[in-house]
Chains A and B, each alone.
Chain A
Amino acid sequence: MEIEVDGLRKRYGQVSALDGVSFTVRPGLVTGFVGPNGAGKSTTMRIVLGLDAADGGHALVGGRPYRSLRDPLRAVGAMLDAAAVHPGRRGRDHLRWIAHAAGLPARRLDEVLEQVGLAGGAAKRRAGGYSLGMRQRLGIAAALLGDPRVLMLDEPVNGLDPEGIVWIRGLLRSLAAEGRTVLVSSHLMGELEGTADRLVVIGRGRIIADASVPELLAAASGGRVALRTSAPADAMAVLSRAGGTVASVGADALTVTGLDAEAAVAALGASRVPFAEVSAHRATLEEAYMELTRDAAEFEAAPGGGRS
Chain B
Amino acid sequence: MTADGTNASAGGTNVGTEGTESNAARTDANAGRTRASAGRTRAGAERTRPGTMLFRQIRAEWTKIRTVRRWTLTLLAAAVAMVVVSLLGASGGSVQHAGGPEAPPPKGPDGKVVRDAFRFVHQEMRGDGTITAHLASLKSLVEGEAGSKSVPWATAGIMVKSGLRPGASYVALLSTRGHGIRLQNDFTHDKAVSADGTWLRLTRSGSRFTAYVSSDGTSWKTAGGVTVRGIPANARVGVFAASPPHTEMSRRFGSLSILDAPAHAIGTFDNVTVTGAEPGGWTGTTVGEPLPEFDPPGAPPRTPLVKDGSSVSGGTITVTGSGEIAPEQRGMDLVQKGLQGALVGMLVVVAVGALSMTSEFRHGLVRTTFTVLPRRGGMLVAKALVLGVTVFAVSAVALAVAFPIAQSRLRSSGFRPPGFPSWSLSDPEALRAIAGSALLVALVAVLAMAFGAVFRHSAAAIAVVLLIVLVPQILASALPLGASRFLLSVTPAAGFAVQQSQPHYAFTADMCLPEDGCYPFSPWAGLAVPFLYVLVAMLLAWWLLRRRDA
Contact A86 B363 (CB under 8 A): yes
Q: How does the 8 Å CB contact mask read for B421-460 relative to A, with 1 for contact and 0 for none?
A: 0000000000000000000000000000000000000000
B532 at the A/B interface (Cβ < 8 Å)? no
Q: Would you call B42 and A64 a contact (CB within 8 A)?
A: yes
Q: Which of B56-64, B165-173, B282-290, B323-331 contacts A (4 or more CB under 8 A)?
A: B56-64
Q: What's the nearest-Cβ distance from chain B to residue A46, in Å? A: 7
Known: A51-B367, A65-B36, A88-B68. A97 touches B20 (CB 8 A): no
List residues 3-62 of chain A with CB under 8 A from any CB of chain B: 4, 6-7, 46-47, 49-60
Cβ contact of B367, chosen from A57, A66, A81, A88, cutoff 8 A: A81
Please measure, in the bound complex, the distance between the C-alpha atom of A53 and the C-alpha atom of B48, giving whole angstroms.
22
Task: Choose among B52, B67, B359 the residue that contacts A103 (Cβ–Cβ < 8 A).
Answer: B52
Q: Is B67 a contact of A89 with CB atoms below 8 Å?
A: yes
Q: Are B27 and A65 in contact (CB under 8 A)?
A: yes
* CB atoms of B43 and A70 under 8 A apart: yes
CB-CB < 8 A to A171: which residues of B? none
CA–CA, A213 and B56, complex, Å? 42
A36: shortest Cβ distance to chain B, in Å?
Answer: 22
Q: Is the interface of A mostly helix, strand, loop or mixed?
A: mixed
Within 8 Å by CB of A86, from B59, B62, B359, B367, lies B359
Residue A100 contacts which of B23, B26, B56 (CB distance < 8 angstroms)? B56
Are A49 and B367 within 8 A (Cβ)? yes
User: In the complex, which residues of chain B have a beta carbon less than 8 angstroms from the beta carbon of A49?
Assistant: 367, 370-371
Tell me the complex Cα distance, A96–B59, Å: 10
Chain B binder among A71-79, A173-181, A232-240: A71-79
Contact B70 A88 (CB under 8 A): yes
Q: How far is the CB of A242 from chain B (nearest CB, A)?
A: 46
**Are B24 and A68 neighbours in the complex by a CB distance under 8 Å?**
yes
Interchain nearest-CB distance for A306 vs B (Å): 13
Write the chain B residue with the least CB distance to A84: B364
With a CB–CB cut-off of 8 A, which chain A residues contact B374? 50, 66-67, 69, 72
* A57 to B, closest residue via Cβ: B30
- Is the CB–CB distance between A101 and B60 below 8 Å? yes
* B27 and A59 contact, CB distance less than 8 A: yes
Which chain B positions have C-beta within 8 A of A190?
Answer: none
- Asked, given contacts A57-B30, A86-B363, A101-B59, whether A51 binds B24 with beta carbons under 8 Å apart, the answer is no
Which residues of B are found within 8 Å of A56, using beta-carbon distances?
29-30
Given the interface contacts A63-B39, A100-B56, does A93 sit within 8 Å of B67 by beta carbon? yes
B307 within 8 A of A: no
Q: Which residue of B lies closest to A146 (CB)?
A: B372
Interface check A90, CB cutoff 8 A: yes
Which A residues touch B3, using CB under 8 A? 63
Given A65-B39, A72-B372 in contact, is the A46-B30 Cβ separation under 8 Å? no
Q: Is A87 an interface residue (CB 8 A)?
A: yes
> Known interface pairs A46-B549, A57-B30, A96-B63. Does A84 touch B365 (Cβ–Cβ under 8 Å)?
yes
Contact call A96/B27, Cβ cutoff below 8 A:
no
Residue of B whose beta carbon sits closest to that of A95: B63
Report the Cα distance A69→B52, complex, angstroms: 15
Does B412 reach chain A (CB closer than 8 Å)? no
- B interface residues, how many (CB within 8 angstroms): 49
Known: A81-B367, A97-B64, A100-B59. A67 touches B27 (CB 8 A): yes
Min C-beta distance of A139 to chain B, whole Å: 9
A98 with B372, Cβ < 8 A, contacts A65-B24, A67-B20, A67-B24 known? yes
Residues of B close to A94: CB separation below 8 A: 67
| A98 engages B69 (CB within 8 Å) | no
CB distance from B383 to the nearest CB of A (A): 12
Report whether B371 and A52 are in contact in the complex, using a CB–CB cutoff of 8 Å. Answer: no
Closest approach, in angstroms, between the C-beta of A187 and any C-beta of chain B?
A: 18
Is A132 engaged at the interface, CB distance under 8 Å to the other chain? no
Are B365 and A86 in contact, CB atoms less than 8 angstroms apart? yes
A296: chain B residues at CB < 8 Å are none
Question: With A84-B363, A85-B363 in contact, do A72 and B40 touch (Cβ < 8 Å)?
Answer: no
Tell me the complex Cα distance, A80–B1, Å.
26
Query: By the criterion CB–CB under 8 Å, are B20 and A53 in contact?
Result: no
Judge whether B60 and A47 touch: CB under 8 Å: no
Residues of B within 8 A of A93 (CB): 63, 67
Q: In the complex, A207→B435 CA distance in Å?
A: 61
Known interface pairs A80-B367, A81-B367, A96-B67; A53-B56 also in contact (CB < 8 Å): no
**Nearest chain B CB to A122 CB, angstrom units:** 16
CB nearest neighbor in B for A54: B29
Is B536 at the interface (CB under 8 A from chain A)?
no
Known: A58-B29, A68-B24. A51 touches B550 (CB 8 A): yes
B204 CB-CB contact with A under 8 Å? no
Contacts of B24 in A (CB 8 A): 50, 64-65, 67-68
Q: Is B229 an interface residue (CB 8 A)?
A: no
Are B20's CB and A68's CB within 8 A?
yes
Given A58-B29, A70-B48, A88-B70, are A101 and B372 neighbors across the interface (CB < 8 Å)? Answer: yes
Does B27 lie within 8 Å of A101, measured CB to CB? Answer: no
B32 and chain A: residue at smallest CB distance: A58
User: Are A52 and B56 in contact, with the CB atoms below 8 A?
Assistant: no
CA distance A16 to B2 in the complex (A): 27
A249 contacts B by Cβ under 8 Å: no
The distance in angstroms between the C-alpha atoms of A4 and B28, with both chains bound, is 12
| Residue ID in chain B nearest A79 by CB atoms | B368
Q: Tell me if A259 is interfacial: C-beta within 8 Å of chain B.
A: no
A102 and B30 form a contact (CB under 8 A): no
Contacts of A66 in B (CB 8 A): 27, 371, 374
Asked if B35 and A65 sit within 8 Å, CB to CB, the answer is yes
Instruction: Tell me if A58 and B28 are in contact (CB < 8 A).
Output: yes
Does A142 belong to the interface (CB within 8 Å)?
Answer: yes
Among residues of B, the one whose C-beta sits closest to the C-beta of A81 is B364
A94 to B28, CA, bound (A): 31
Taking the complex as formed, is B47 at the interface, i.e. its CB lies under 8 A from any CB of chain A?
A: yes
Is the pair A53, B372 in contact by a Cβ cutoff of 8 Å? no
| Distance (whole angstroms) from the CB of A138 to the closest CB of chain B | 11
Partner of B365, one of A78, A85, A102: A85
Nearest-neighbour CB distance to chain A for B21, whole angstroms, equals 7
Task: Tell me whether A261 is interfacial, beta carbon within 8 Å.
Answer: no
Cross-chain contact A83 with B364 (CB below 8 angstroms)? yes
Are A58 and B371 in contact, CB atoms less than 8 angstroms apart? no
Q: Judge whether B305 is part of the interface by a CB distance below 8 angstroms.
A: no
Q: A69 to chain B: which residues have CB within 8 Å?
A: 374
- Is B248 interfacial (CB 8 A cutoff)? no
B27 close to A98 (CB less than 8 A): no
Sample of 16 more A-B contacts, CB < 8 Å, known A54-B29, A58-B35: A6-B1, A49-B371, A50-B374, A51-B367, A56-B30, A58-B29, A58-B31, A68-B23, A69-B374, A84-B365, A84-B368, A85-B365, A97-B61, A97-B63, A100-B56, A126-B69
Q: Can you give 15 A-B contacts (C-beta < 8 A)?
A: A7-B30, A50-B26, A56-B29, A64-B24, A65-B27, A68-B20, A70-B43, A83-B364, A84-B365, A86-B365, A88-B70, A89-B64, A94-B67, A101-B57, A101-B59
Task: Give the 6 A-B CB pairs with smallest separation, nearest first.
Answer: A64-B39, A101-B60, A93-B67, A84-B364, A52-B549, A97-B63
State the B residues within 8 Å of A (CB).
Answer: 1, 3, 20-21, 23-24, 26-31, 35-36, 39-40, 42-43, 46-48, 52, 56-57, 59-64, 67-71, 359, 363-365, 367-374, 549-550
